[in-house]
Amino acid sequence: MSNPKKPHVTVMRSQLSRARGLGSGQAGVGHWWAERASAVALVPLSGWFVIQVFRLAGASQPEVAKWGARPFNTTMMLSLVILTFYHTQLGLQVIIDDYVHGKAHLPAGLLMKGIVFLLGLFGAVSVLKLALAGSSRSTIAAR
């Protein structure tokens, strides 16, 4: 019957059909642009953060708390944290698109986004805690 030496052909779909595939996903522009815009925004934010870290080197805990309670610093820190993790998520998605194929692709992306979301939220909550706790402590001290 069938020749055991001859491999069984499972795909006889034409090359053009394979090349056209499922057509265009009508997506990608937003992701591509968000990646670049967030990268540009992170340049001044990261520069500012590095300068602040050097300025605060050796500072006492109350001094750092006071620094973190200033609305300007809180705004900058929240921007930095949110944009960093947003950008991380965009970039890791690219790596998953490149290297994880087939059925694992969707769960890998979801898992990555979940982890990055929680890490980002943890960073944001920490910044807010510093901001809000600092202000309440100074209120108590003022009394």
Partner 1 sequence: MVEFRLPKNSTVGKGRIFTAAPGASNVKNFRIYRWSPDDDSNPVVDTYEIDLDKIGPMVLDALIHIKNDVDSTLTFRRSCREGICGSCAMNIAGENTLACLKPIRDIEGDVAIYPLPHMPVIKDLVPDLDGAYAQLRSIDPWLKSDTAPPPDSERRQSIEERAELDGMWECILCFCCSTSCPSYWWNGDRYLGPATLLAAYRWIADSRDEHAGDRLDALEDPLKLYACRTIMNCTQTCPKGLNPAKAIGRIKELQLERKA
Residue 129 to residue 143: CA distance in whole angstroms: 21
Which residues of this chain interact with partner 1, rule CB under 8 A? Answer: 14-16, 18-21, 23-29, 31-33, 94, 97-101, 104
Cβ at position 43, least distance to partner 1 in Å: 18
Tokens of 122: 């943890």
**Cα→Cα distances 95→56, 65, 98, 105, Å:** 35, 38, 5, 11
Cβ at position 8, least distance to partner 1 in Å: 17
Nearer to partner 1, 19 or 140 (CB): 19
Nearer to partner 1, 63 or 97 (CB): 97
Dihedral of CA atoms 76, 78, 82, 84 in degrees, nearest 10, equals 50
Nearer to partner 1, 28 or 71 (CB): 28
